Copies of this chain bind each other. A is one copy, B any other.
Amino acid sequence: MTSVTAGFAEALRAWSEAIGATHVSAEPQALGQAATATFHTTARVLAILRPGTAEEVQESVRIANRYRVPVYPISSGKNWGYGSKSPVRDGVLLDLGRLNRIRECNDELAYVTIEPGVTQRQLYQFLRERGSQLWMDATGASPDCSIIGNTLERGFGHTPMGDHASTACGYEVVLPNGDKITTGFGQFESARTVAVSRAGVGPALDGLFLQSNFGIVTSMTVWLMPAPEHFEAFFFLCDEPNGLGPIVDALRPLKLSNVLRNVMHIGNDYKVVAASGRFPWDKVTPGGVLDAAMMANLRRTHGVAAWSGAGALYGTRAQVRDAKRLVKRALKGRVNELHFVDDRRLALATRFAKPLSVLMRRDLVRLLGVLRPVYDLLKGIPTESTLASTYWRKPAGPPKTGVQDPDRDRCGLLWCSPVVPMTGAALTEVTTLASEVLLKHGFEPQMSVSLATDRMAICVVTITYDRDVAGADEAAMQCFNLLAERLQARGYPLYRRNIAAMNSTDLSPAYAALLRELKAAIDPNAILAPGRYEPAVVADTSAARWRA
């Protein structure tokens, strides 16, 4: 990378002056850690900058332009399964962790304006301490994950505010040229409507900064929901391996008619087993896989269902009561068990889990271990519990003490997340295909289906492995690529991409050409996150055609 090495030393000096030498690191170990993800990565991290304000971000970007050194922004860098902190190509990491202010909280209009360093834990505690009656949304990832980072990757959670990109607005963005804009009505300095409207007047630009390398978001307004008068979660178990389709077809009308307002999740047996325990080393031959037959066995012995679903009802007592009736009617005959749980009942179940287990011939203790965090997430409460499952394939399991760090501990994790129309047929096709491909490649097909919006579901397929096993990195990536390719070919593209598979080769030529023209206009020196969600470089004439 001659373009980098050229002015790199001067660039480092300039950055040190701009943001303070203590916030510029080129320490080899730190750089190595930053370049490490939960799968094999190739990009080098040349330095780490930790600006403290949007103005310092602007200055850092101007320096990057001056010396033509690419910078790659991260918020908390906990993008596990998709690339963690690692840039797509060699570059300097722009760590926004120090921008961690909650700039505003408006209880009347139910929103907060936050910076990229603000974590789920931080916002949750902030609202608690304030005694706020507002609920945030949370993802199942670590409480230390950045809210803005997740939103910009189009992440989703579990509450009615779970579709993050559609419940955020007013992005403050540092452009690759060092300018700073705010989207929506932030286009006007005088506007009092920035935090209440995604739209401004004229073309909407906020979408340009989702999954892109067009700008660095230094602040964003996130909408919250008022705590409902009554909350009740429901969990269902379906022992029928082909049960997913009928369930989805029965729930879709409830999504479309607004009875089910939250992002519901349905997990398969592998997902539940992995979430609730350790890999059964005793049952599987070394290098083997927990195959369908063994899983069928596990289901019987541990009373794990083929499909386990979780949803929730939010509203007045009467609204929740009627929604319960509709959920029961929809799932009748399609699930084996349906349990409605509120705070009181959950406490009881936890207390009597052991005896109830015997009674119900289900491992309720294990089940509650899985369900409790889901129950919390349905209320927007972040949870610590999910990270352990990234250690599923690690013989030693998660560290008994200290922080869990899948990057450091060489946990192998790749997520393959196709978007699927919310029909039983489509979701059956996708989950069947994913299960086949993963088992064939020697990985347990952990899958969850999230009813992300009213018409669309996202199936998250987890490829978990041990990076310390020779060849596992290659095998996992091969499996991922094959599955992604097959899904794409059948019409189910991924909603989100990892840094090793970020460049679509199959974009329509005109669409790819437009993306390139936009990038060239916004970032002529290509200094911002090169390669990030960019179209693959392929022969393309569509853009040139008309100029002839």
Binding site for B on A (CB under 8 A): 62, 65, 108-111, 154, 160, 165-166, 175, 177-182, 185-193, 195-212, 214, 223, 225-226, 228, 252-253, 256-259, 261, 314-316, 318-319, 321-323, 325-326, 419-423, 426, 453-456, 488-497, 504, 506-508, 510-511, 513-515, 517-518, 520-522, 533, 542-543, 545-547
In the A-B complex, the 6 residue pairs with the smallest Cβ-Cβ separation, listed nearest first, are A204-B207, A192-B491, A521-B521, A179-B510, A203-B212, A196-B455
Tell whether A191 pairs with B493 under 8 Å between CB atoms, given A179-B542, A258-B315, A520-B521.
yes
Residue of B nearest to A322 (CB): B318
Do residues A514 and B506 form an inter-chain contact, with CB atoms below 8 A?
A: no
Chain B residues with CB under 8 A of A543: 177, 179
- How far is A252 from B419 in the complex, measured between Cα atoms in Å? 34
Given A204-B206, A204-B207, A514-B522, 9 more A-B residue pairs with CB atoms under 8 Å apart are A179-B542, A181-B514, A182-B511, A196-B456, A201-B495, A202-B212, A203-B212, A258-B261, A322-B322
Kindly report how many copies of this chain are found in the complex they form together.
2
- Shortest CB-to-CB span from A288 to chain B, Å, is 34
Residue of B nearest to A225 (CB): B256
Chain B residues with CB under 8 A of A203: 207-212, 214, 515, 518, 533
Chain B residues with CB under 8 A of A507: 187-188
Do residues B421 and A453 form an inter-chain contact, with CB atoms below 8 A?
A: no
Tell whether A504 pairs with B193 under 8 Å between CB atoms, given A110-B455, A187-B511.
no
Chain B residues with CB under 8 A of A252: 108-109
Do residues B199 and A488 form an inter-chain contact, with CB atoms below 8 A?
A: no
Tell whether A455 pairs with B514 under 8 Å between CB atoms, given A154-B199, A203-B210, A491-B193.
no
Chain B residues with CB under 8 A of A453: 196-197
Do residues A546 and B62 form an inter-chain contact, with CB atoms below 8 A?
A: yes
- Listed A/B pairs (14) with beta-carbon separation below 8 Å: A109-B455, A180-B510, A182-B508, A187-B508, A187-B511, A192-B491, A193-B420, A196-B419, A199-B495, A201-B494, A201-B504, A203-B210, A205-B207, A318-B318
Do residues A178 and B546 form an inter-chain contact, with CB atoms below 8 A?
A: yes
Do residues B533 and A496 form an inter-chain contact, with CB atoms below 8 A?
A: no
Chain B residues with CB under 8 A of A326: 316
- How far is A297 from B520 in the complex, measured between Cα atoms in Å? 63
Tell whether A517 pairs with B510 under 8 Å between CB atoms, given A322-B322, A423-B108, A493-B188.
no
Our pick among B109, B325, B421, B490 for the contact of A422 (Cβ within 8 Å) is: B109
Our pick among B181, B515, B542 for the contact of A508 (Cβ within 8 Å) is: B181
Tell whether A521 pairs with B515 under 8 Å between CB atoms, given A207-B206, A253-B226, A533-B203.
no
Residue of B nearest to A518 (CB): B521
- Shortest CB-to-CB span from A60 to chain B, Å, is 12
- Shortest CB-to-CB span from A445 to chain B, Å, is 21
Chain B residues with CB under 8 A of A521: 517-518, 520-521
Chain B residues with CB under 8 A of A489: 190
Our pick among B178, B199, B258 for the contact of A160 (Cβ within 8 Å) is: B258
Chain B residues with CB under 8 A of A504: 187-188, 201-202
Tell whether A493 pairs with B319 under 8 Å between CB atoms, given A210-B204, A510-B180.
no
Residue of B nearest to A534 (CB): B202
Residue of B nearest to A514 (CB): B181
Tell whether A111 pairs with B455 under 8 Å between CB atoms, given A207-B203, A253-B226.
yes
Do residues B175 and A510 form an inter-chain contact, with CB atoms below 8 A?
A: yes
Our pick among B109, B258, B514 for the contact of A205 (Cβ within 8 Å) is: B514
Residue of B nearest to A110 (CB): B256
Residue of B nearest to A517 (CB): B521
Residue of B nearest to A176 (CB): B546
Chain B residues with CB under 8 A of A202: 211-212, 504, 515, 533
- How far is A191 from B507 in the complex, measured between Cα atoms in Å? 10
Chain B residues with CB under 8 A of A511: 181-182, 186-187
Do residues A223 and B455 form an inter-chain contact, with CB atoms below 8 A?
A: yes
Determine which residue in A314, A507, A510 has the highest number of CB atoms from chain B within 10 A of its CB, and name it. Answer: A510
- Shortest CB-to-CB span from A15 to chain B, Å, is 16
Do residues A456 and B193 form an inter-chain contact, with CB atoms below 8 A?
A: yes
- How far is A318 from B318 in the complex, measured between Cα atoms in Å? 8
Chain B residues with CB under 8 A of A214: 203
- Shortest CB-to-CB span from A357 to chain B, Å, is 36
Do residues A177 and B546 form an inter-chain contact, with CB atoms below 8 A?
A: yes
Chain B residues with CB under 8 A of A488: 188, 190
Chain B residues with CB under 8 A of A180: 510
- How far is A468 from B493 in the complex, measured between Cα atoms in Å? 58
Tell whether A199 pairs with B492 under 8 Å between CB atoms, given A511-B187, A514-B522, A543-B177.
no
- How far is A207 from B182 in the complex, measured between Cα atoms in Å? 15
Our pick among B65, B491, B522 for the contact of A546 (Cβ within 8 Å) is: B65
Chain B residues with CB under 8 A of A520: 521
- How far is A542 from B58 in the complex, measured between Cα atoms in Å? 13
- How far is A166 from B190 in the complex, measured between Cα atoms in Å? 25
Chain B residues with CB under 8 A of A191: 491-493
